[in-house]
Amino acid sequence: MSKSSPRRPFGGKSTGTVTVIEARVHRSWARNARMAFVLTAVIAGLLAAVVAASYMHPILALFVGVGVGVPLGGIVWVLVRIWPVIRLLWWWTPEIGLAGLLLVGWVQLASHTPTLVTLLVVALVVGVPAAVPVIRHQIMAWAWCLVVRHRLRVCFAQFIIANQSGSLPLILWATPTPVGERVWVYLRPGLSVKDLEARLDKIAVTCHASTVLIERASDGNAAYVRFDIKRREVLTANVGSPLVDVIDPDTPTVEQAPQEVPTALDLPDVQAPTITLPKQGGTTDRKPAATSTANGSKPAASSSTAEDDVSDWI
**Are 136 and 217 within one domain?**
yes
Q: Last residue of a domain, which of 230, 253, 279?
A: 230
Average pLDDT along the chain:
79
**Are 145 and 219 within one domain?**
yes
Confidence at 294, pLDDT banded by 50, 70, 90 = very low
Residue 173's domain comprises 132-230
What is the CA angle 51-53-55, rounded to 5?
Answer: 90
Average of per-residue pLDDT across 244-269: 74
Confidence at 214, pLDDT banded by 50, 70, 90 = very high
Q: What CATH number is associated with residue 196?
A: 3.30.980.40
Q: What is the pTM of this model?
A: 0.58
Neighbours of 49 (CB within 10 A): 21
Q: Is residue 153 part of a domain?
A: yes
DSSP of 123-173, one letter per residue? HHHHHHHHH-HHHHHHHHHHHHHHHHHHHHHHHHHHTS---TT-PPPEEEE
Q: Last residue of a domain, which of 230, 255, 282?
A: 230
Higher pLDDT, 153 or 167: 153
Higher pLDDT, 275 or 258: 258
Is the model's pLDDT at 274 over the cut of 80? no
The answer to whether 190 and 163 are in contact (CB under 8 A) is yes
**Are 85 and 136 within one domain?**
no
**Are 165 and 76 within one domain?**
no
Is the model's pLDDT at 311 over the cut of 70? no
Distances (CA, A) of 271 to 215, 265, 277: 57, 15, 19
**CB within 8 A of 222, min separation 6: which ones?**
187, 192, 193, 216
Q: Which long-range contacts (CB under 8 A, 24 or more apart) does 179-182 make?
A: 179/228, 179/230, 179/231, 179/232, 179/233, 179/234, 180/144, 180/209, 180/210, 180/228, 180/229, 180/230, 180/231, 180/232, 181/141, 181/144, 181/145, 181/148, 181/229, 181/231, 182/226, 182/227, 182/228, 182/229
The pLDDT of residue 237 = 64
Distance CA 233, CA 179 (A): 6
**Are 215 and 141 within one domain?**
yes
Distance CA 181, CA 112 (A): 39
Confidence at 181, pLDDT banded by 50, 70, 90 = very high
Is the model's pLDDT at 147 over the cut of 70? yes
Q: Is residue 65 part of a domain?
A: yes
The pLDDT of residue 40 = 93
The pLDDT of residue 285 = 52
Model confidence pLDDT, tens digit, residues 60-107: 989 999 999 999 999 999 998 888 888 888 888 889 999 999 999 989
Give whichever of 188-197, 249-258, 298-307 has the largest mean pLDDT.
188-197
Is the model's pLDDT at 165 over the cut of 70? no
Q: Last residue of a domain, which of 89, 111, 146?
A: 89
**Are 79 and 136 within one domain?**
no
**Are 72 and 154 within one domain?**
no
What is the CA angle 101-107-109, rounded to 5?
Answer: 95
Q: Is residue 112 part of a domain?
A: no
Neighbours of 92 (CB within 10 A): 13
Instruction: Calculate what percentage of the chain has a pLDDT beyond 90.
Output: 31
Higher pLDDT, 32 or 215: 215
The strand pairing partners of 180, in sequence order, are 177, 230
**Are 60 and 148 within one domain?**
no
Average of per-residue pLDDT across 203-216: 92
Model confidence pLDDT, tens digit, residues 9-64: 444 444 444 455 666 666 777 888 899 999 999 999 999 999 999 888 888 989 99
Q: Is residue 157 part of a domain?
A: yes
Give whichever of 48-52, 167-171, 281-285, 307-311 has the largest mean pLDDT.
48-52
AA letter at 54: S
Q: Is residue 11 part of a domain?
A: no
Distances (CA, A) of 306 to 281, 290, 292, 300: 9, 15, 20, 16
The answer to whether 212 and 200 are in contact (CB under 8 A) is yes
Distance CA 82, CA 86 (A): 6
166: left (phi over 0), alpha (psi -120 to 50) or beta: left
Is the model's pLDDT at 314 over the cut of 60? no
AA letter at 127: G
**Are 138 and 190 within one domain?**
yes
**Are 80 and 153 within one domain?**
no
Distance CA 234, CA 230 (A): 10
Distance CA 196, CA 203 (A): 9
Query: Measuring CA to CA, which residue among 100, 212, 94 is closest to residue 146?
Result: 94
Worst-scoring range by mean pLDDT, 15-29, 87-101, 171-185, 238-252?
15-29
Q: How many domains does the chain contain in total?
A: 2
Q: Is residue 15 part of a domain?
A: no
Helix (H, G, I), strand (E, B) or coil at 182: strand
Q: Is residue 221 part of a domain?
A: yes
**Are 139 and 81 within one domain?**
no
Q: Is residue 143 part of a domain?
A: yes
AA letter at 218: S
Neighbours of 183 (CB within 10 A): 23
**Are 138 and 225 within one domain?**
yes
